[in-house]
Structures are given as structure tokens and as C-alpha cells.
Amino acid sequence: MCGILAVLGAADWSQAKRAHILSCSRRLKHRGPDWSGLYQCEGNFLAQQRLAIVSPLSGDQPLYNADRTIVVVANGEIYNHKKIRKQFASKHTFSTGSDCEVIIPLYEEYGEDFVDMLDGVFAFVLYDTRTKTYMAARDAIGVNPLYIGRGSDGAVWISSEMKALNEDCVEFEIFPPGHLYSSAAGGLRRWYKPQWFAENVPATPYQPLLLREAFEKAVIKRLMTDVPFGVLLSGGLDSSLVAAVTKRHLIKTEAAEKFGAELHSFVVGLEGSPDLIAAREVADHLGTIHHEFHFTVQDGIDAIEEVIYHDETYDVTTIRASTPMFLMARKIKALGVKMVLSGEGSDELLGGYLYFHFAPNKEEFHKETCRKVKALHQYDCLRANKATSAWGLEVRVPFLDKEFINVAMSMDPEWKMYNADLGRIEKWVMRKAFDDEEHPYLPKHILYRQKEQFSDGVGYNWIDGLKAFTEQQVSDEMMKNAAKVYPHNTPVNKEAYYYRMIFERLFPQESARETVPWGPSIACSTPAAIEWVEQWKASHDPSGRLIASHNSASANHTNHANANANGNSNGKANCNCAMAANGTNGVGLVVANGTANGKMEA
């Protein structure tokens, strides 16, 4: 990942202004420690901090066309850049090996209507000196972060992270995913317009081989690298499939020619945590060079302020999950690795969170997946990108490949739904697609392992430790006055209050606090899904922990592996588990805060 900052239409062109913008750009240096550059034309400034992944010996930014009339700064990975280079080989003289340089000939050929031709993730700003106009764009789902604001002089500021512009803008906001900003047209417009965006329920039958092929292609294209890389491996379905597909196809890639066919895998957790155990088993099966990192609850607590600074959020779930990832990223970078693949996005696309078991019908199930995917840029994409780029480590997420998204979201949602009578657990469609008897990707008991929340998988004591710590830091009196102190997105518990205090100290602007999503949630649900179960409405904690019978639920899922492969089972997966925001209730109940309000059976 790189960091970009653009200031366009500034009233001040002085050397002092240039020095100030350079200073602002350096706040993004963690994202790109390898090089920096700044272009200035009158009151227009384009700056970049580079993390060199593709063509590290060239590709420094800003990027230019032959006569230097078009200038680009970008944070992106364009996976079809070689195809585009061939398309323009006779028309455009490429001066670097950067994958992002293809943005320039596309603009010269098609004007602003080229963004959908890019296959990858990106955030970029392009300035045309001939027309004195500029455009900016962000990838379809918002894997790469971007913010936009306006200075007191009317200048437009665009930055990879809020911290580079928050002190200079009178107002700012998240640059919406799948949009482009055009100074010529005078505003934002959506370029990403997939059919699923309308949230109409699709009717395409489940095609396991199509789903598998789309995912394999998504992984393979993300092996485009000129630096050492690895995979994040928790031992759950998503990361295990990423690792298995990477291992299977690595030998045939250019990356293998440069760095060999050995695959490095990484996991983080408290001593004895579920992820450490499961990841080791998967790593042993795949034959990866496995790296296991341990942290303590105190290590995590000590890192909270840094995590909030880098993540730029006060969302409780995001901070809980970001902290172990933040600690792990530092260790990975210390080993000389600059890029990793990860499994974010699967749960949103396929309804993999355990609360999806309670969707009342396929219409609600599909609408919730749509809502979740649309909001990824404020949650898991933000976490994965910022927690790792804090240490100059790039994360690539094959589940959020545009083509894979199209395949996954065009499927009749009936196939994605939990159905105990048919032996279908969460993400059954993905498990079935990769359940290859002849050439297995993973052993069945791993392929059908129940989902863990990331912040739970690293060790159950992590969440308990956070709650105990923040309970000591925030008094009851402070909570009584929470609505007066924080009228916008008022914290509902002491953990949320503690994170909010740190955030407000780092980012005190009204615009900053408005960039953070808020609302009730159970197990990562949207507020709309809270309506599915009456008891969930009482929760003030977003935890997705399965209490009391988590192990038995997981065992049930494993025992159904063979039945799942055939699409039939006489048993009930997860029939005796409880979903809770917090607590230790018995079995068979959907509860919030450990209290079974009304005896609702799961």
C-alpha cells in the first residue's frame, strides 16, 4: 500500500505552502516508506509515499505521460496492467514498470470513462495540465482507503488517510467506494454499477465449479509481486482456502521464479488460542513455512492508542480485531515480507457470520449481504488495510475481486442459507465448491470448520481483558454523562467510551467523528438485521462469540462434513449453540448480554 495526498486549487502557491503539504504527506509515510514524491503546478499539489511491490526499481511517483502534461499519484494494484500495456504498446511510451502507469493511456484514450476497465484495487488522483482539470477515483468496494475534504480557501484535499488532511480542512468525509470525482463535471458520480447493487434477489443456480474457478483466478492474479510475500492463516475456512489455492498455483507464477515455490504463512494469537492450533494444522497439511506470533493481553492494551491513530475509528469491533493484526504486521515486516494475502470479504458475500442463521427468508438474507458488502470499506477493509499499512505491509484480498463478487452475488441466496436439514452450514457453497475428493484442497474437518470471529479466534481472553481494563479506566459517573460529552454516536459501554476518548484526542474535528459508522450490532450484523431477533435489541456489545457450546457446535459441523459434501444430513448443525453479545448463558437460546429474555429457541 502507498499513501497519496492531493491539494487542488490552493490559493497559496508559496514555498511555505509546498513545505506544509510535504509535511502533511509525511504523515502517510508508514504506508509508503520506500520513496516519496511531490508534483506542483501553481496551486495544485500531488504527493505520494511509495511502498514498492511491483517494479521496485522503477515506478516512483508521481507518474507522467511523455510530455508531462498528465500527472498521476496512485495507491493501487492493477492486476490487468500487462494486458492494458499491450493494448497501448503502439500508442503510449511507458516510462516505468509500475502497474498504475496504465491509468495514463486509459485516460488519454477514453477520458474519465475508463475506471471500470481497471481490474484491481486503487485510489488515485489525476491532474491534466492542458485543461487544468482533475479527477480522482476509488475502487469498487473501497479496499483502499480515501478521504476528501475542502480547505478554508476552497481547495479540494484528497488523501489516503484522514490524518493528512483533518487539520487543514473545514470539512471532510470518506470518499465513497465505486465513485469518481470530476472537477470538470463538478462532483462525485458512481462508476461501479453491478446488478446486485439494487438488492434484487437473484435466481441464478449455484454452480460450484464456477465459484471455485472465479476464486482461484482471484488468488492467482494477486500473486503479482516483485517482493517476498506470504499468507495470513488463522486456520478458518477463508484464510485456509486462500493459502491452499496459493500453494497449489504458486509454482506456475513469476513470483515462484523469483522467490521459489515455498509459501510463508503467518498467524497471531494469545498462547493456546484457537487460531494458533488450527493454523498450525492447516500449515502442516499444506507444507507452508509457518510463523506463529504470540501476544499478551497487556501487549494489546498497550497498542490500543496506536491502533486508533492508524485505523482512524472508534468502532469497538474494528479496534478489537485490528489490534492483534497490527501487532502481527510489525512482526511480518521485520521478516522482510512486504505483501500478504488475506481472507476478508467472504463472510459478507456469502452470509458467513453466524447471525445469518437467523435470517427469516432468502430475501432478507440477500439484502443483508448487500448491506454488508456496501459497508466493508468502513469495517473489515479499513481494518485490514490500515492495521497492516501502519508498518508498510500490503494486504491483498481475493474474495473482494470484482469478478468473484459478481459470481457470488448473482447466486440464488437460498443456496447460501444455513439449513440443518440439508446439512448446510454457513458458507456451505464455498465449502462444497472446494470439496474435491480426487484432489483435495483441505481435509474435510478443516474445510467444514465453524467460523470464529477474528478477535475471538486469537484468544477468548483478549476480549475479556479489554473489557476488564476499560472498566477500570471509565467511571460510572463518566458513563452517566456520556450523552452530554459525546452527543454524536454516544458510547453505550465503557469499552466504547475509552476508545472514543482516545479518538477525540487524536481527531477532534466534527467531520472526523462523522466518518465512523454507528448503530446496534450482534456478531457483526447491520442494525437492520437486529430486527430479526427480539432479544438482540437489548445488546450493548457487538461480540459474535458463541457461548457455552461453541466447541460442541464446531464438532457438529465437523461431523457433518460428509453429509455436507452430499448436500444431505439427518442432523442439526449448531442446534445447541447460543449467540450472545456477552455472557455465559446455557444452550439453545439466542441471548443478549447473557440474559435469555423471553426463552427464544434457536
Most distant pair of Cα atoms in the chain: their distance: 75
Give, in order, the Cα–Cα distances in Å from 92 to each of 54, 69, 112, 343, 516: 20, 14, 17, 37, 42
Cα dihedral angle (356, 359, 363, 367), rounded to 10 degrees? -50
Residues serving a catalytic function are 2
Distance of CA 451 to the CA centre of its chain: 17
- Long-range Cβ contact pairs of 548-553 (< 8 A, separation 24 or more): 548/577, 548/578, 548/584, 548/585, 548/586, 548/587, 549/576, 549/577, 549/578, 549/587, 550/450, 550/577, 552/576, 552/577, 553/450, 553/577
Q: What is the 3-state secondary structure (H, E, C) of 196-219?
A: HHHCCCCCECCCHHHHHHHHHHHH
State yes or no: 153 annotated in a binding site.
Answer: no
Sign for the pseudo-dihedral over CA of 108, 110, 115, 119: negative
586: left (phi over 0), alpha (psi -120 to 50) or beta: beta
CB distance 38 to 25 below 8 Å: yes
Distance of CA 113 to the CA centre of its chain: 26
Q: CB-side exposure of 392: number of CA atoms within 13 Å?
A: 19
Which segments within 227-342 are labelled E, that is strand?
229-232, 264-269, 289-294, 339-341
CB count within 10 Å of CB 396 equals: 29
Give, in order, the Cα–Cα distances in Å from 280 to each of 529, 537, 556: 35, 38, 22
Q: What is the DSSP string of 308-332?
A: HHHHT---HHHHHHHHHHHHHHHHH
Residue at 297: amino acid letter: V
State yes or no: 342 annotated in a binding site.
Answer: yes
Cα dihedral angle (427, 429, 433, 434), rounded to 10 degrees? 10
State yes or no: 95 annotated in a binding site.
Answer: no
* d(C-alpha 235, C-alpha 504), whole Å: 36
Residue at 482: amino acid letter: A
* d(C-alpha 21, C-alpha 11), whole Å: 13
Q: What is the 3-state secondary structure (H, E, C) of 528-562?
A: HHHHHCHHHHHCCCCCCCEECCHHHHHHHHHHCHH
State yes or no: 99 annotated in a binding site.
Answer: yes
Question: Which residue numbers belong to the known binding site for ATP?
Answer: 232, 268, 342-343
Q: Binding-site residues for L-glutamine, please?
A: 99
